[in-house]
Each structure stands twice: as structure tokens, then as C-alpha cells.
Amino acid sequence: MASTFHLTIITPERTFFEGDVSFSEFTTEEGRVGIYPGHEALTLMLAPGVLLIRSGNEDRKAAMHKGFAEILPDRVTVLAQIAEWPEEIDRNRAEEDRIKAERALQEDGSSAKDEIRLRRAIARIEASKG
Amino acid sequence: MASMRDIKRRRESIQSTEQITKAMMLVATVKLQKARQKAEASRPYTNALYRTVGEILRRTDETAHKYLKHPGEGKKAVILITGNRGLAGGYNMNAVRMVLDGPFDRENTVIYTIGRKGQEMLRARGYECRDDWSEVVNAPLYKDAISITQTVLDRFEASEISEIWLVYTEFKNTVVHVPKCQRMIPVAPEDEHVAAAMEEEREDVLPMNYEPNDEEVLNRLIPQYMASVLYGALLQAVASENGARMTAMDNATDNAEEMIEKLGLQYNRARQGSITQELTEIIAGRNAVT
């Protein structure tokens, strides 16, 4: 069996990543899922969280918000609405967002939107930790 | 023959029109470049989306899903993307004509317009036009596409409408723009993009698994698919609009130039005529005196 699979990550604005990788980890609605080559056909819904890409011995992290992944044995296509490399993330802004969202959640009129905002901020912070 | 003064006045008026059309052309050219870059940058995403969704649907036998099953009787919704402004050749009218010539009768169709021109034209023809997102055309954002999709899908969930169609102008290149009419909901395998994806690689059809489960995944996937299709359509429509305006204004400038040249000739001829006439009169007068 091949030791790599072809990973393509595309957002509406750009092709975020394309290349052969040996392992990848996604954050889904159900928790974190790791994908090795030769995985059976699967469609996953992604939740805001950290994406891990391993090619060779190198690990790369990225923040990803909402999207879905189509997994086939030899290739994986991720269509994300937003994806960011750690160097593109403004850490301070993410911290600020996290605090704002947490505060909003403690008030009574909090909504699902605040929840999502909090999860996005945490995803950004996690990814930028490197 | 028109007098010299009339011709001169007319020529000046055409000259100022030419200045306007020329300026409009330059503005459209700049805007087109920006819009085209954006449209081209989003194309890999849109193509991958069509392919992926096509592939997912091909591996699915979930035909009873609410977004996939064949519609019952009910109103049709049309999302129509046009420009806010005219003077873009046939751009707005061609898109509107897709609605008029399409399978939409006045009583059973609700129009959601993005762009004021389409709304005005369809209102005048007695169609029911609801929400209006004209602002979006100025600078389409992915966020807009999501909120529009959400609004229309809410109506679908409330069973007010049974089908959702999208009419927009596809941007092929600077001069070729093709108006398109496609059904978004129910997601149709007859949709050419999805169908093309389904044609490919028929042999290795592995059954698709879903996490958490197929209904849940389709519930989330289809709205995202719609929003992305809409976003791609918006970018293409904006590029088409500016392309159409650029071509139209380029033609207008050419025509103005041609007219100015013609009037210049006429003016010179009239001037020469009046000089000749004056000379003839002077000579005739002198002959009469002597």
C-alpha cells in the first residue's frame, strides 16, 4: 500500500494546500479524526479546530473553520470556508475574540453564534502555538 | 443643409458624450481586472466542490433526502443575479430573459434578486420579487452568499417553495458571457457539472460512509454547497457585468469617434460652401456696379 495520499485543501479564495502527505488529523463534529493512507471512503463534516498535516517527518498545523472532507483511499479533498496557516494568524486578536466570546457566553442572551466564535478563536490560538 | 453653427454644436455634444463613455470604459476595465482575478481564484474551489459533491452523490442512494428528492407541486424560487446599473450592453436583459423564457410562470414563481436592474425588469412584468440584496453586487463576500442561502433555504424548509433555481451570467472570457439557469435544490444529477463528475471514473464506485450519519452530513453539506455555488456565481456575474460594460462602452466610444469625424467633414464642407457663396456674391455685386 502506498505510504502517502494526495491531500488537497481548497477555500473559496485560494488553493490552501496541495501535496502528498503521510498522515493528517482533522477536527470534526464528533472529535478529532486521524487519517492514514488507504482509509475507506468517508465524508466528514469539519468543526472549527486544528488541522495537522504530516509529510515526511515534518508536521504542519493550520486553523480551519467549517467545511467538509471527502476521504478516499488515495486522496483526500478538503473544502473549507476558512483556512489559515499559523503565520497568518494574529494571536492577539484571537485572544481578544476568545475573551469577548467567553464573556458573551456568560451573559443570558448568548447564542450558538458566540459558541462558534469561541471555538474559532480557540482553534486559531491552538494552531498558532505551533 | 444644416448650418455651420448646428453642426458645430452637435459635434461638441458628441465629443462630451465620448469623454463619458471613454471614462466609463476605463473604469469598467479596472473593475473587470479585479473581478476576473477574484473569479479565477475561486474557480478551483467551485470546480472541486462540484466534483466532490457529484462524487458523494454518486456514492449515495439517499434519494429520499429532502434536498435531493424530486419536488412536489409548489412555488419555484429563482435567485437572479444582475447588475445595479445599466449601460452594459445586453448583460442585464440576457439574464432576465433566462427567467422569462425559462420554466417559470408568473403565478408560481418567487424571485429573489441580487442587483436592482433585474428586480425592476421583472417587477414591471408582473413577477413577485421578494428580498433584495442589491448591495452585494458591488463587492460580493462569502458571508453574503451564506446569508442569502440561509434566507432562501429557510423558506424552503417552511415549505413555501419547492425548488430553488439560480440564474447568473457565466464569465468565459472578456467578451464572451453566457447567461446560465441552473437548479440548486433539489440538487439535480442532471446539473451538467455534477453529471460530468458522475460520468468520470464510474468503475471504482466505493460505497461512501458518513460521519456522523448520511442524513446529518447531507443536511450540512448541501447548504454549504449552495452557498459556494452562489458565491462562485456572484463573482462570475460581477466579472461578466464589467466585461459587458467595457465592451459596450468601447463600441460607444468608437461610434462617437466615427460620428465626430463625419460631422467634422460636414462642418468643413459647410464652411467652404459659405465662403464660396460669399465670394460669388461679392463678385456678382461688383459686376453689377461696374
Q: What is the mean pLDDT of residues A70-99?
A: 84
Query: ipTM score of the complex?
Result: 0.70
- List the domain boundaries for chain B: 4-24+247-289, 35-245
User: Do the Cβ atoms of A43 and B221 come within 8 Å?
Assistant: yes
pLDDT (0 to 100) of residue B195: 58
What CA–CA distances, in Å, run from A54 to A4, A18, A27, A41, B245? Answer: 10, 12, 15, 20, 48
A47 SS3 class = coil
pLDDT (0 to 100) of residue A110: 64
A5 within 8 A of A37, measured Cβ to Cβ: yes
Q: Which is it for strands A75-84 and A5-10: parallel, antiparallel or unpaired?
A: parallel
CATH of segment(s) B35-245: 3.40.1380.10
User: Do the Cβ atoms of B42 and A42 come within 8 Å?
Assistant: no
**A55 burial type by CB count under 10 A (0-12 exposed, 13-18 middle, 19+ buried):** middle
Hey, what CATH topology would domain A5-86 get?
A: ATP Synthase; domain 1 (2.60.15)
Show the cell assigned to A121.
Answer: 478563536
- List the domain boundaries for chain A: 5-86, 90-128
pLDDT (0 to 100) of residue B203: 47
CATH of segment(s) B4-24+247-289: 1.10.287.80
User: Do the Cβ atoms of B48 and A41 come within 8 Å?
Assistant: no
pLDDT (0 to 100) of residue B65: 74
User: Do the Cβ atoms of B209 and A68 come within 8 Å?
Assistant: no
Which residues of chain A lie closer than 8 angstroms to B56, CB-CB?
43, 70
Q: Tell me the C-alpha distance between B125 and B113, whole Å.
A: 14
- The residue of chain A nearest to residue B210, with distances taken between CA atoms, is A43
Instruction: Indicate the helix (H) or strand (E) that contains B211.
Output: strand B209-211
Can you list the alpha helix ranges (DSSP code H) found in B59-164?
91-101, 116-124, 142-157
Which residues of chain B lie closer than 8 angstroms to A31, CB-CB?
none
* Contact with chain A for residue B42, Cβ under 8 A: yes
Mean pLDDT taken over chain A: 83
What CA–CA distances, in Å, run from B163 to B63, B66, B77, B108, B187? Answer: 16, 11, 6, 11, 9
For chain B of 290 residues, list the mean pLDDT of each consecutive stretch of 10. Answer: 84 94 94 90 81 73 69 81 88 90 85 89 87 84 87 86 89 87 74 56 60 75 85 91 93 95 93 93 91
What CA–CA distances, in Å, run from B18 to B9, B28, B259? Answer: 14, 15, 10
pLDDT (0 to 100) of residue B196: 59
Give the highest mean pLDDT range of A18-32, A63-77, B90-104, B256-270. Answer: B256-270
User: Do the Cβ atoms of A12 and B211 come within 8 Å?
Assistant: no
Show the cell assigned to B3.
Answer: 448650418
Q: Is the full-model pTM beyond 0.90?
A: no
pLDDT (0 to 100) of residue B273: 92
Which residues of chain A lie closer than 8 angstroms to B208, CB-CB?
41-43
